[in-house]
Chain A
Amino acid sequence: MRYSYGIVDKKKILLYQPQLFLRRDEILIFPSRDFHAWYGDIKEYLDSLYQINAKNIGESEPISLTELTLAVGIINELAEELECLFDCENKVDLSYQYISTMAERYKKLSSNYSSDMRKCDIRIPVKPEITPYLKYQHIMEIIRHAEREFERSRSNLKDKPKNSQ
C-alpha cells in the first residue's frame, strides 16, 4: 500500500515521498503517533487470538467453549477498536504502544488438509483426450512389445543349444 509520512505546515502538508501519489489523488490523513498506537492495539488483539490457538497446538483435546467465547470477545473488542479510527471524539491513549514480537511459528496454522489429500485432489488435464481408440492402441502396443520380447527369448533358447554343440 502506498503511504507517506508528512509534516503539517500551516494549512498544507509537506509529503516526504510525494512521488508515490498521482496528482489529484484522494488521500486520508492521520496523525502519525495516533495511527501507530491504533495499529499496535489491533495487533495486540490479533496476537492474543494467536496465543489462544498456540495453547492448543500440542494438546490432544480440541478447543473448548470458554476459549471460543474468549476469542469472540476479543473479536468484538477488535471491531470496536477498528471503528475508533474514524471517531473524532475518541482520545487516543499514547502512553502505551504495543509492538508485535510474536514468533512466526505460533502463527503457523495447522490445517487438516494434508499433502496426501492434495495429491488426490489434483486433477491433471491430459492434452490428448483419452478415447477408447487410444486405450486400444495402448494395449496393443504392450501386447506387441511382449510378443517381440517372447520371440526374442525363444530364438535365444533355440540358438544356445546349437552354439553349445
Chain B
Amino acid sequence: MKMSQGEVKGRFAEPYHPEQFQNHEEVIVFTREEFNRTYRALQEHINHIEKIYFKFETGENWKLLGYWPEIMGKTHLLDVNMDSLFKKELQQCYLDVYLNNIIGDSEKKVVPSRRKVSVKL
C-alpha cells in the first residue's frame, strides 16, 4: 500500500513523499503515535497466540481445553484494537497507563559531610 509519513501544518498536511499519491485522491490520516501503539498491540497479541501454539505438543490434546479460551481472549483483544482505529473516543486502558506512569521523585536528600575533607595542596 502506498503510504507516507507527514506533518500537520494548520489545515493542511504535508506528506514527506507526496509522489506516492495521485492528485485528488482521498486519503486517511492517523497520528503516528496512536497508530504505532495500536499496530504494536496487534502484533503483540498475534505473537502471544503463536507462542501458545508453539508451546502446545500434539500428544497433549486435553490441554487444548485451557489454551483455547486464552486464544479466543486474544482474538477478542485483536478485534477491540481493530475497532479502536475508527473510534473517536480515547481508549481508557491507555489513559490509565499514562496515569500510572508517574515518574518518581528524583530529589535526593543531600547529607552534609560530617568530616571536613582534607585537601592536599
Choose the segment among A2-10, A114-122, A126-134, A157-165 that binds chain B (4+ C-beta atoms closer than 8 Å).
Answer: A2-10
The one of B2, B10, B27, B42 in contact with A5, judged by C-beta atoms closer than 8 angstroms, is B27
A interface, over-half SS? mixed
Q: Is there contact, CB below 8 Å, between A13 and B3?
A: no
Q: Is there contact, CB below 8 Å, between B27 and A7?
A: yes
With an 8 A cutoff between CB atoms, is B121 at the interface?
no
Q: Could you list 22 examples of A-B contacts with CB < 8 Å?
A: A2-B34, A5-B29, A6-B27, A7-B25, A7-B26, A18-B12, A25-B7, A27-B5, A27-B6, A28-B35, A29-B3, A29-B6, A29-B15, A30-B28, A32-B25, A32-B28, A50-B75, A64-B61, A65-B61, A72-B50, A75-B46, A111-B69
Sorting the interface of chain A by its residue count into under 10, 10 to 19, 20 to 34 or 35 or more gives 35 or more
With an 8 A cutoff between CB atoms, is A85 at the interface?
yes
Number of B interface residues in the complex (CB < 8 A): 62
Q: Is there contact, CB below 8 Å, between B5 and A29?
A: yes
The one of A30, A63, A75, A82 in contact with B3, judged by C-beta atoms closer than 8 angstroms, is A30
Of B13, B32, B42, the most chain A CB neighbours within 10 A belong to B13
Of B1, B21, B34, B39, the most chain A CB neighbours within 10 A belong to B1
The one of B9, B28, B42, B49 in contact with A35, judged by C-beta atoms closer than 8 angstroms, is B28
